Amino acid sequence: MEDVDISIEKWREIYKAEVKSKKKHRKEVKLTPENYFDSVRPFFMKISPEDKEYVRTFRMISYGMLRYSPSLRTLILRGAGYNLAWRLVETGEIKSIDDLPKVFLNQKIGLLDIIDESFSRMKVNIYECISCYQAPPIGRTLCD
């Protein structure tokens, strides 16, 4: 788990630097297989050398849905996430919010960092996200 903490701390520093930076966002481009499918997530490649293929397969499916119907893609992915969460609660893998970072890691979704939380709100960052890590800006979120 030490490697996870080190990686999250590294990504947190990058995040803080980007927030402080006055740089403008990169120009939006069209999402294509060439600029979306191939992504190397450094932390996940260390623990799972086949991660690149895992991400590529997920993104190929996601891209196909996005090209066919962005709104349908959103519904399908949110529904799948909801069903996964219920399953993980039922099996006892999620007992509280504190279990989410471990679940995100085990499911290879990304490195979840809880930035701020209060009674009614929570702000999180997901580093090396399976949906959007290294993807170009396209004018909408890829993480549904």
Q: How far is CA 91 from CA 77, 96, 104, in A?
A: 21, 13, 15
- Percent of the chain surpassing pLDDT 70: 98
**Residue 83 placed within a domain:** yes
Phi and psi at 103, nearest 5°, equal -65, -45
pTM of the model: 0.87
Helix (H, G, I), strand (E, B) or coil at 125: strand
**Residue 47 placed within a domain:** yes
Phi and psi at 135, nearest 5°, equal -80, 150
The number of domains in the chain is: 1
* Boundaries of domain holding 70: 28-127
Between 1 and 81, whose confidence is greater? 81
**Residue 11 placed within a domain:** no
Q: Which two tokens stand for residue 30?
A: 């069209």
Tens of pLDDT, residues 9-53: 999 999 999 888 877 677 888 999 999 999 999 999 999 999 999
Phi and psi at 44, nearest 5°, equal -70, -30
The model's confidence at residue 144, banded by pLDDT at 50, 70 and 90, is: confident
**Residue 1 placed within a domain:** no
**Residue 19 placed within a domain:** no
Amino acid at the residue 27: K
Model pLDDT, residue 130: 95
**Residue 91 placed within a domain:** yes
What is d(CA 80, CA 41) in angstroms, rounded to the nearest whole number? 23
**Residue 138 placed within a domain:** no
